[in-house]
Structure 1
Amino acid sequence: MKRHFREFHYKEAHFHILTSSWDPVTEFILSERLRLEAFILSHPLFGESLEPVSISPADKQPESVRRMIEASLATGLGPMAAVAGTMAQLAAEISADMGSPETIVENGGDIYVDCREDVTLGLYPGRNSPFSNLALRILPEFMPLGVCTSSGRMGHSLSFGDCDILTVFSKNASLADAAATLGCNSIRSKEDMEPVLNRLLEIPGIEGALAIRDGDFGAAGRIPELVKNSDPEILNKVSRDETSNFQ
């Protein structure tokens, strides 16, 4: 099935979106980002902290902030670790509310999928990785689903680990995004992979996770079917931006 995506960019955020409700979805992304930016201006620690922050319940919180705080508390990371997954899911929910029969929102490698037919997502652990031809086949019964990926070796995001990619699956994309960062931060050697993946599964709401580091592959929990990626255009579809170190 051929699906057609459109791109939407706002500052450092780069979206690929499949929806029949383009205008409401992109208008929402812009308005929610502006609400988030205004909140950070009045609560600068929220945008800077690498650990959970205390926000008074009396402070009016945008929905994105509320979800990011929940993911932060669940993983022990700063709330901004969940921003991309949060925005992807919120945008996808608007698409579904507007009646779009299929929705996929990808935000810098963090994805929310809600489709009636199978969706195949390529994994990209690096051009020279022995696993560069892997993809995930997500069946309708898995969806809606957040699929969020972090890397200690590619991209501009802060990472304290040394892992090609770590991907987390959850119905909650905010949680999946923060958990992917947590897992990737924690893997610095082959020996770290299994205990880190198992630790992620202990977080309520995490369905499964996989990690690739050099020639090693690990997975835990419920993950989509792994298939061969036969898309000849895969390198042109890898998420990147002008500050990424993508090769």
Structure 2
Amino acid sequence: MKKQTGHQPPSPASYRERTYRRLVGTEGLQSFQVICQETDLMIQADRLLEARAREQTLACRGHIEGYIKQYPRFATTLAPWYEPVAAPDVVRDMIRAGRAAGVGPMAAVAGAVAENVGRRLLDFSRRVVVENGGDVFLKTDLPVVAGLFAGRSPLSMKVGIRLPDAGRGIGLCTSSATVGHSLSAGSADAVCVVARSCALADAAATAIGNRIHSPGDIKPAIAFGRRIADLSGIVVVTGPEMGAWGQIELVPLEGKKG
């Protein structure tokens, strides 16, 4: 399921291949793709687990779609969701993340699905990386470097974020007003957030990105993000300008092109 957007999902004729996925790789892992309707996951694990990944993806979609049928406004609201009703785990993750970041629950959908699928696969694989439209859940034994894709910015794929072994897993999510179909009220080329919760990282990236309309907004937007509990780091790219905060290590990507 895609994040809330003012556009229809792309048709097969208009679909643009996600070429940045070619720059994602973790040594020793098997890579495979799972596509379920609008959900398009690139997954890496110790072994091929397509059937189990598809099963969990369909389960997540079913839970979210079922909740939307019961509460249609859940799919469109840009405000935090406070409906006092029991919800499936993936929906609860979205609701909690939206409340923490001050945005609607659909701002967290890609991260929530990535994490829910990834955690299911951890029952069968020691290491897992699940990428869902630029939002990544990962559990690895060694540090990895994730390239920062920022569209037409001259900094795109020139800088990477080194992530440590993440214990039980970590979320790395990116929101952009110039790349992809995600809804953003700002104009940042990339807002990347690291958090233990992938849903929270997704929602926070949207909330921070909404506040950026020029390079001069980078510093106050990061200051806003620092007030969101449980974030580990923030990186913002707007044109040739970049700002960063938190427990993250930025590294140059030698020979990489965006």
TM-score class, shorter-chain normalisation, is 0.7 to 0.9
Which of these residues, 40, 52, 55, is aligned with residue 27 of structure 1? Answer: 55
Does residue 149 (structure 1) correspond to residue 149 (structure 2)? The answer is no
Q: Match of 2:126?
A: 101
Cα separation, 2, equivalents of 1:67 and 1:16: 21
Note the 1:52-91 alignment, pairs <5 A: 52-57=80-85, 60-91=86-117
- Structure-2 change in CA distance of 1:139 and 1:31 (3 Å): same
Cα separation, 2, equivalents of 1:163 and 1:171: 23
- State the 1:17 CA deviation: 0.5
Does residue 173 (structure 1) correspond to residue 198 (structure 2)? The answer is yes
Does residue 6 (structure 1) correspond to residue 32 (structure 2)? The answer is yes
**Amino acid paired to 2:70:** S
Which of these residues, 49, 52, 66, is aligned with residue 38 of structure 1? Answer: 66
Q: Match of 2:137?
A: 112
Q: Say whether the 8 Å CA contact 1:139–1:224 is kept in structure 2.
A: no
**Amino acid paired to 1:43:** Y
- State the 1:56 CA deviation: 2.3
Cα separation, 2, equivalents of 1:53 and 1:111: 24
Q: TM-score by structure 1 length? A: 0.87
- State the 1:85 CA deviation: 0.3
In structure 1, list runs of 5 or more residues that go unmatched: 236-247
- State the 1:136 CA deviation: 2.1
Does residue 206 (structure 1) correspond to residue 231 (structure 2)? The answer is yes
| SS of equivalent to 1:113 | strand
| SS of equivalent to 1:67 | helix
Cα separation, 2, equivalents of 1:140 and 1:76: 29
- State the 1:74 CA deviation: 0.7
| SS of equivalent to 1:49 | coil
Note the 1:118-129 alignment, pairs <5 A: 118-127=143-152, 129=154
Q: Match of 1:158?
A: 183
| SS of equivalent to 1:159 | coil
| SS of equivalent to 1:97 | coil
Structure with greater proportional helix content: 1
| SS of equivalent to 2:150 | coil
Q: Match of 1:15?
A: 41
| SS of equivalent to 1:74 | helix
| SS of equivalent to 1:5 | strand
Aligned-pair identity in percent equals 32
Q: Match of 1:220?
A: 245
Q: Match of 1:47?
A: 75
Q: Say whether the 8 Å CA contact 1:122–1:229 is kept in structure 2.
A: no
| SS of equivalent to 1:152 | coil
Q: Number of residue pairs matched?
A: 230
Cα separation, 2, equivalents of 1:143 and 1:42: 33
Q: Say whether the 8 Å CA contact 1:88–1:106 is kept in structure 2.
A: yes
Q: TM-score by structure 2 length? A: 0.83
- Structure-2 change in CA distance of 1:182 and 1:52 (3 Å): same
